[in-house]
Amino acid sequence: MDFELTEDQRAFAETARDFARAELAPHAARWDAEGIFPREAIAKAGALGFCGLYAPENAGGLGLPRLDATMVFEEMAAVDPSTTAFITIHNMATWMLGTWATEAVRGHWGPLLASGEKLASYCLTEPGAGSDAASLKTRAEPVGDEYVINGAKAFISGAGATDVLVLMARTGDAASGAGGITAFAVPADAPGISYGKKEEKMGWNSQPTRTIGFDNVRIPADHRLGAEGEGFKIAMKGLDGGRINIATCSVGAAQGALAQAQQYMHDRKQFGKPIASFQALQFKLADMATELVAARQMVRLAAAKLDAGARDASTYCAMAKRFATDAGFNVCNEALQLHGGYGYIREYPLERLMRDARVHQILEGTNEIMRVIIARRMLEGDAPDAIR
Ligand SMILES: Cc1cc2nc3c(=O)[nH]c(=O)nc-3n(C[C@H](O)[C@H](O)[C@H](O)COP(=O)(O)OP(=O)(O)OC[C@H]3O[C@@H](n4cnc5c(N)ncnc54)[C@H](O)[C@@H]3O)c2cc1C
């Protein structure tokens, strides 16, 4: 087992670190405070290939392993988890479209999305269907060579600023459950689509979150992704990678916070000496570093499983998401504590990193739902060798 990064992985990480320092770090606090969606910076990320990192090459993506993509996302999230998390969602939606769209739709949207020229949202959650996503009610009715879509989506990242919606809608009857859901690529400006107000959030302020309404929205039948009834599986496959990405954003945020705390402990003096000399704080720092490394390794293991197509990959993605987003939030919170009162004020990035990391425990499946997924695997079927 080789835990060393390859030369390529190191090069990706370095490029991402340089990009993050130059294009994200100087502005992240202002984007957060003023709720600015940094479209230009995202386009620059796209020019480096960061908007289609693991999208297939025939859709204009780099076709990289998920493991390599984590190297890029982690570096960016260390300074701006909010903008990075949007870029990860865009990557997920781009991969879904690139993998399941018809040739014509992939040929049109793939290169535009992978280059960051156009952006995508992932639309699964509804006002009445969150954790129980398979109960979604938005309908896509086949009419001639079109589908007519009616319904509503909630909490959609990037909504109002994106160009294409990867939408999960019901094509089966009301009782059809997960097997009655189909995925679609919907142009975000199609007639009949309306956007709600920009939600006011605790964090993730550099990206808009909105509800989306669909009122007799007509799309050509060839905008379907995969077959009818495959949409829930496609949505979950997207989320396997999405969960690694969000977990990585937590690892990155924690790394950023830890580095700040480490430096601050040398700089800040109380009782006539640097606070780094207090063993209680040294122990705290040691625990933070240990938790962070455990989280990073867990995420990389899950990414490697997904890349290898392992049967238990989804379980590991759920474990990594649960563990790394909890650990990441805790490390950010402890780093804030190590800054005392200064950690609480906006001049320092700690409170922003902590606010941004908080939602990672909630979205792309809450951490309770991650436990449901893990426990289900352990208690059903070929469980005994499920987790080793
Ligand atoms: C900022 C933000 C951005 C988002 N972006 C997107 C996006 O781009 N696209 C998208 O589709 N969605 C998005 N979401 C939605 C997100 O995925 C959901 O909020 C999440 O899945 C939880 O659903 P819910 O909010 O309806 O909570 P609920 O499902 O109502 O859950 C409420 C509580 O009950 C718990 N719970 C529910 N069921 C169980 C159970 N069986 N066992 C134990 N506990 C349970 C939950 O863990 C939670 O603590 C976003 C959300 C936020 C906040």
pLDDT, tens only, 343-386? 999 999 999 999 999 999 999 999 999 999 999 999 986 655 66
Tell me, in angstroms, the distance from the centre of ligand 1 to residue 360's CA.
11
The one-letter amino acid code at 268 reads R
Tell me, in angstroms, the distance from the centre of ligand 1 to residue 126's CA.
10
Would you state the pLDDT for residue 2?
83
Helix H or strand E segment including 195 = strand 193-195
Would you state the pLDDT for residue 386?
60
| Residues tagged active-site | 364
CA-CA distance, 189 to 281, in Å (whole number)? 53
CA-CA distance, 231 to 244, in Å (whole number)? 20
Tell me, in angstroms, the distance from the centre of ligand 1 to residue 85's CA.
16
The one-letter amino acid code at 165 reads L
Would you state the pLDDT for residue 202?
98
Would you state the pLDDT for residue 238?
98
Residue range 320-330: mean pLDDT, rounded: 98
CA-CA distance, 321 to 368, in Å (whole number)? 11
Atom number of ligand 1 nearest to Cα 158: 8
Q: How far apart are the first and last CA of the chain?
A: 15
Instruction: Give, using CA atoms, the residue closest to atom 24 of ligand 1.
Output: 130
Q: Is 182 helix (H, G, I), strand (E, B) or coil?
A: strand
C-alpha distances in Å from residue 191, one per residue of 102, 186, 283: 22, 11, 58
Q: Is 349 helix (H, G, I), strand (E, B) or coil?
A: coil
Report field, pTM of the whole predicted structure over 0.95: yes
Tell me, in angstroms, the distance from the centre of ligand 1 to residue 365's CA.
6
The answer to whether residue 217 scores a pLDDT higher than 70 is yes
Would you state the pLDDT for residue 382?
60
- Is residue 372 lining ligand 1, measured as CB closer than 6 Å? yes
Instruction: Give, using CA atoms, the residue closest to atom 37 of ligand 1.
Output: 131
Atom number of ligand 1 nearest to Cα 153: 11
Percent of the chain scored above 70 by pLDDT? 98
Instruction: Give, using CA atoms, the residue closest to atom 35 of ligand 1.
Output: 368
How high is the mean pLDDT of the chain?
Answer: 97
